[in-house]
Structure 1
């Protein structure tokens, strides 16, 4: 599902160009090149997550396979070894610098923060209850 949508995007080229524009925005001040690259890389991963979630809105519920594909695209090692939605989403959130808030307890839902996974989390919690 997601791997077909992402193939045309060359990860390295996308991150390189985004890092360049970040450097341009700060007038190429030296010493911040790594920060530009890391921010661009995080932007790339967040773009993949947004793409994944928008595909879910049209194509239906998330699956273990689709989450494993997303995790692999983000660079998580051995996503095929993870066999639950919560484990995969938690790993994706951690890898992209977010607090892993994908929980099974309704009292632990991310009500007070903006979470891209909120709708999917609610669906799982609803199914559990």
Structure 2
């Protein structure tokens, strides 16, 4: 997912994206949704979140 689309999702959640990197924005969205903010932490194969919106970009 590109950064523009991610920022749109963040704004829908009422989150500010100013000066944040992609990883920080995705983790903020995850936390806002009540999920573990685990995006790009190296645990993609262990997290068990197979339906995660960010799964394709996660490592």
**The TM-score by the shorter chain falls in which range?**
0.7 to 0.9
TM-score where L is the length of structure 2: 0.73
Q: Post-superposition shift, 1:110?
A: 4.9
Q: Post-superposition shift, 1:104?
A: 4.4
TM-score where L is the length of structure 1: 0.38
Conserved? CA contact 1:68–1:80, under 8 Å: no
The equivalent of 1:66 in structure 2 is: 5
Q: Post-superposition shift, 1:79?
A: 1.5
Q: What is the aligned residue count?
A: 57
**Larger RCO: Structure 1 or Structure 2 (Cα < 8 Å, ≥ 6 residues apart)?**
2
User: Which consecutive unaligned segments of at least 5 residues does structure 1 have?
Assistant: 1-61
Mapped to 1, the partners of 2:19 and 2:10 lie a distance apart of: 11
More helix by share: 1
Mapped to 1, the partners of 2:4 and 2:27 lie a distance apart of: 15
- Counterpart of 2:28 (choices 79, 83, 91) is 91
User: Which consecutive unaligned segments of at least 5 residues does structure 2 have?
Assistant: none
Q: Decide which structure has the larger Cα Rg and report it.
A: 1
Mapped to 2, the partners of 1:110 and 1:96 lie a distance apart of: 21
The equivalent of 1:14 in structure 2 is: none
Q: Post-superposition shift, 1:120?
A: 2.0
